[in-house]
Amino acid sequence: MSELDIRVVPYDSPVARELVGAALADLAQRYGGSEGDETPVAANEFEPPVGAFLVAYLDDAPIGCAGWRTHGDSGDVAELKRMYVSPTARGRGVARRVLSAVEGSAREYGRRRLILECGDRQPEAIALYQGNGYERIADFGYYRDAPGVLSFGRSL
């Protein structure tokens, strides 16, 4: 694999909107519906120091993304959102590198824990999170009462 470059970009930038759109389309295909994920998300939630949005580039082509936003009032918990890798780049360790970059960014801004929710129709994501030390936690967030929701967390 060529050199992977991971950059912080605005959540509402064209490249981020394109990748988030692809991520939501993937979720819609897995779960049905037209939205993919109806969790309320605002661009300013991904602006430092309360969050960040990262895009992975391979040979200057955007191939993946993920972001974190502050969760709760304590200021030490971050929530992972919009983790996605393009189908053409999957199986090459991109997701692991993006996840590591998100963790590092959140840690840099004083977050000590990263939490996330995903669904049971995302076996690749579940394997990624469990393989990187994430453990099941109590369900939270927009989908906390939805069937098939799986929530995970890890200390940073």
Q: Which two tokens stand for residue 10?
A: 């605005």
Reported as half-sphere exposure (CB side, CA atoms, 13 A), residue 15 has a value of 18
6-50 pLDDT tens trace: 999 999 999 999 999 999 999 999 998 777 888 999 999 999 999
Which pTM does this prediction carry?
0.95
Q: Any idea which architecture 4-112 has in CATH?
A: 3-Layer(aba) Sandwich (3.40)
Q: What is the CA radius of gyration of the chain?
A: 14
pLDDT in tens, 70-95: 999 989 999 999 999 999 999 999 99
Spatial distance between the Cα atoms of 44 and 64, rounded to a whole number of angstroms: 20
Q: Give CA–CA dist 122/118, Å, rounded.
A: 7
Domains in the chain: boundaries: 4-112
